[in-house]
Amino acid sequence: MAAELALRFLIGGLVVSAFAVVSDVLRPKHFSGVFGAAPSVAIATLGMAFATHDGGYAAIEGRSMIAGGLAFFAYALLVGWLLLQRHASSLAAAAACWGVWLVVALTIWAVALA
């Protein structure tokens, strides 16, 4: 279990960093933002899911990811509004909206997938 977690940490860190590089170098910022929502955690996690479970396990994770993506849309909408309209600081807006992501994702999951 510890070895699997360590490998998961390594792959997750590498994939997130790789997409962050792409997001950093692209311009303008409203275009590079697309890569701020890259499937970095999904690639790392699903790669491990395929290695340790069967395809059916990954399929279930993929179905729930649709709800997570919708929650991400709400997250990006709210963070953009806070920064552009309310002039909030990036760190405060991004961190506060994690809670919104969690609430939206769990609500969709409870209503449609549980």
Partner 1 sequence: MSVSPRLGADPRRLGRTTWKEWAIRFGFGGAVAVAAGLVAHQFGPSLGGLFLAFPAILPASLTLIEDHTDKTRAAGANAVGARAGALGLMAFGLVVWLSASQWPAWLVLAAALCAWLAVSLATWLAFELARRDRNHEPAASASWPLSKDAE
Which 43-102 residues touch partner 1, going by CB under 8 A? 43-51, 53-73, 75-77, 79-80, 82-84, 87-91, 93-95, 97-98, 101
Cα separation, 49 vs 65, in Å, equals 14
Cα separation, 64 vs 58, in Å, equals 10
The residue count for binding partner 1 (CB under 8 A) is 89
> For residue 87, what are its two tokens?
């002039």
Question: Which of 3, 23, 99, 103 is the binder for partner 1 (CB under 8 A)?
Answer: 23
For residue 24, give the nearest of 13, 33, 16 by alpha carbon.
33
Question: Which of 3, 40, 99, 111 is the binder for partner 1 (CB under 8 A)?
Answer: 40
Taking the complex as a whole, the smallest distance from the CB of residue 58 to partner 1 amounts, in Å, to: 4
